[in-house]
Amino acid sequence: MSELQELPDDPGAVKLPDADGRVPVRIDVNGRARTLRVRTTQTLLDALREQLRLQGARSGCGVGMCGACTVLLDGRAASGCLTLAAVCDGTDVRTVEGLEDPSGELSRVQEAFLRHRAFQCSYCTPGFVLALEALLAVDPSPDEAAIREAFSGHICRCGSYSRIMAAALEVAGATDRREQA
Amino acid sequence: MSTPAFFFPRSVAEAVDVMDSYDGAAKLVAGGTALTLMVQQRLVSPQALVSLRDVPGLGEVLVDEDSGLLRIGALVTHAAAARHPLVRRHAPLLADSLAVVGNAQVRSAATVGGVLAEADYASDPPATLRALDAEVAAHGLAGERTIGVGELLLGFYQTALAPAEVVTEVRVPVLPAGTGSAYLKYTSRSHEDRPCVGVAAIVGLADDGSCADLRVAVGAACDAPLRLGDVEQQIRGRRLDGATLSEFADAYADRIDPVSDVRGSAWYRREMVRVWVRRAIEQALLRSGAHEHSKERAQ
């Protein structure tokens, strides 16, 4: 508090850290309103995993290159490791845990990944699934190029790319070019 | 280190006031992709973080017919600007250079104001904005001023912005009809990597086929985008044949002070500048009106 001497009269919404260095953040996570107390330097990924124990989003490279930490932030694919939790106040966050419907039925993207066994270790899978969900939300029948572009920030170290593409193309209603050939 | 306070100002003036009250110890958050990393890696330890998220009016894209400026709000994301019809029409090479930054997640968060205010040498858009003679509008304690991108970017992560100054808009002179332009990104390790060298080229030809306008900026190879105005000037009025392009590219390669990093040594970068400056101009020539006319005549 000591550094806050000459603040303007109305500096907008201010979040001053409490004695533990935390601020309250309200986020709608997988359809449920949650209030978290986060450090202002904490990432969304860390808050989801550590505070809410939602561990579908994973920490991979830590620099926004691998896609393992992907979540849907107000519908768009976002890297949890490049997003401050405090900035997410008032937003809608969806993780892979929130894709199934209340009866436990998986999304059609998840079903397609299962059908095509589009993974080995599965560390990257939530990221790929959410990237495709975000793409389908704005483009219900993307072509192969659009899918590849949406996957460009996602790395599968097991090398399941061809199965991942097959699953994605099936959901997109497109035909794998190799099958046409 | 104490945890920084977090602010959501509701106007640019409020943001300036908060930044000023921390006297250089606060950091602005736009898209947050760069700042989040810097905070996580303890490269910066601000006393306050000031999010521009709730500041209205920074997300517009429009063309001001009177001034001939394409005006892009500072909070417009790379993805939104890259697909915006006005950007694609009036500054196609800017759309191209925004579309090759990082990956989809980064592009949907990172902003055109943020990429300039951060002044990371290893990014794509700054060189293009330098070649386009773009300016930023910045609001500070003394009101608004405009700063040319060449004057804004001083070096590695160094800008001419005052601690309490907020970039509000990027202003790009629209390219005249018939102008050819290109941004070429050369990556040395992987497709999604940052550039080893990026080159933005803009070419306008006179009716007789001689060079009327040539603007080239090299990015990611040294501390701030490199433009050589005197070399550009010498080329005007001449025909852009192979020998002339080589001479031009050699001047950039010879005069750049290249950085050595994981994407390439200084020696390697110098040679890549020689290659990619030439290729970028060739690509821009292919897209120029003169080339389109000659194709029509040939048909």
* B53–A12 C-beta distance less than 8 A: no
* CB contacts, 8 Å: B3 with chain A: 17, 21-22, 39-41
More confident residue, A123 or B1: A123
Q: Closest approach of chain A CAs to the CA of B70, in angstroms?
A: 27
Q: Looking at the domain B180-297, which fold is it?
A: Enolase-like; domain 1 (3.30.390)
* 0.90 surpassed by pTM: yes
The answer to whether the beta carbons of residues B29 and B49 sit under 8 Å apart is yes
* A78–B6 C-beta distance less than 8 A: no
Per-residue pLDDT at B299? 54
Given a cut of 70, whether residue A68 has pLDDT beyond it is yes
Structure tokens at A60: 């991979």
Q: What kind and span of H or E run contains A32?
A: strand A32-39
Residue B107, CA atoms < 13 Å, CB-side half-sphere: 24
Domains along chain A? 19-98 (3.10.20.30), 99-181 (1.10.150.120)
* Interval A95-117: pLDDT, tens: 999 999 989 999 999 999 999 99
* All structural domains of chain B with their residue ranges: 5-51, 61-173, 180-297
Any idea which residue has 């001449």 for tokens?
B238
CATH class name, domain B61-173? alpha beta
Per-residue pLDDT at A5? 45
From B189, B152, B194, select the one nearest B170 (Cα to Cα).
B152
Q: Closest approach of chain A CAs to the CA of B209, in angstroms?
A: 37
Phi, psi values for residue A132, rounded to 5°: -70, -40
* Interval A13-52: pLDDT, tens: 787 888 888 999 999 999 999 999 999 999 999 999 999 9
* B191–A3 C-beta distance less than 8 A: no
Per-residue pLDDT at B156? 96
A172, B104, B259 from A178: Cα distances, Å = 16, 26, 43
Low-confidence ranges of chain B (pLDDT < 70): 1, 290-299
* A77–B105 C-beta distance less than 8 A: yes
Q: Looking at the domain B5-51, which fold is it?
A: 3.30.43
Any idea which residue has 């160094």 for tokens?
B158
> Under an 8 Å CB criterion, which residues of B touch A?
2-11, 14, 17-18, 21-22, 25, 29, 32-33, 35-37, 39-40, 47-49, 51, 53-54, 102-106, 108-109, 191-192
Q: Closest approach of chain A CAs to the CA of B197, in angstroms?
A: 19
> Helix A125-138 crosses helix A161-172 at what angle (to 10 degrees)?
30
Given a cut of 50, whether residue A180 has pLDDT beyond it is no
> In a mutagenesis test of the B interface, which of A84, A91, A132, A157 is the best target, namely the one with the most B β-carbons within 10 Å?
A84
Are the folds of B5-51 and B180-297 the same?
no
Any idea which residue has 């100054």 for tokens?
B165
Q: Are strands B135-140 and B166-173 parallel, antiparallel or unpaired?
A: antiparallel
- Kindly tell me the burial class for residue A44, based on how many C-beta atoms sit within 10 Å of its own C-beta (0-12, 13-18, 19 or more): buried
Per-residue pLDDT at B293? 58
> In a mutagenesis test of the A interface, which of B12, B36, B49, B54 is the best target, namely the one with the most A β-carbons within 10 Å?
B36
How many whole angstroms from its chain centre is CA B45?
Answer: 26
From B154, B155, B112, B118, select the one nearest B134 (Cα to Cα).
B112
Structure tokens at B178: 């018939």
Rounded Cα distance between A63 and A67, Å, is 9
Rounded Cα distance between B137 and B263, Å, is 33
Per-residue pLDDT at A93? 98
* A87–B53 C-beta distance less than 8 A: yes
- Under the banding of pLDDT at 50, 70 and 90, the label for residue A175 is low
Given a cut of 70, whether residue A12 has pLDDT beyond it is no
